[in-house]
Amino acid sequence: MKEPAAIDGPSVSIRTESADRAVEIMAEAIRNWSAASQLISEQDILGLVKAHHFIPPGADRTSDSEPGILAQLVRKNDDLRKLTGAGSHYYYSAHSMTGAYATILLHKLEGPLPLIAGTVRQSAREYQRPVPLSIFSDPPFDLPYQQVLDCLEAMAKAGGYDDIAATSTSTSAIYLYSTSHLEAEHAAMLAEWLDVGQSDSP
């Protein structure tokens, strides 16, 4: 995977301590990380702010404070988005990734069980369709197939995943869906269509 450009360095020269310049630098860092298919955490953003003394001594919740500068980020840059999860806030640029892809990256940070469950729920909720089990072994998930099976077994024993269910097609392909958003018969019909009927249609 391509590494994100450094959040400071020759290509991101810092010559002023103004809040406006701080926002510009942070926006560029977010776009660099997004171009490398990665989210950047609020902690890393604030680390950049603190490292270059953008916060004036004694600043409170003004436009030059940490909360003030972070608030300006999304407001002044239409392409920047904020996600919350994995114990922090994360940022990305819509110029380089979609919201759905960014959400997958966030779930990856939370661990394999939340990754699988979150993806299944999002697909059922937003697109009204089940998810093939095999997708979790492909990018950007990149989970070994056996690990996916182990995760399903762990979900069955753990709390908080009661809505995650499986259905099989006529080719024995396994699809996952959320019972909170899809009924069993509907999910089974959709899975069969996605797996078999779709390819058989002229």
What is 101-153 written as a DSSP string? HHHHHHHHHH-HHHHHHHHHHHIIIII---EEGGGGGSTTT---HHHHHHHHH
In the chain, which residue ranges form alpha helices assigned H by DSSP? 19-35, 42-51, 66-76, 99-110, 112-122, 145-157, 184-192, 198-200
Q: Mean of the pLDDT values across residues 70-75?
A: 82
Tell me the percentage of the chain whose pLDDT exceeds 90. Answer: 61
What band does 15 get if pLDDT is binned at 50, 70 and 90?
very low
Output the pLDDT for position 66: 66
* pLDDT higher than 80, residue 11: no
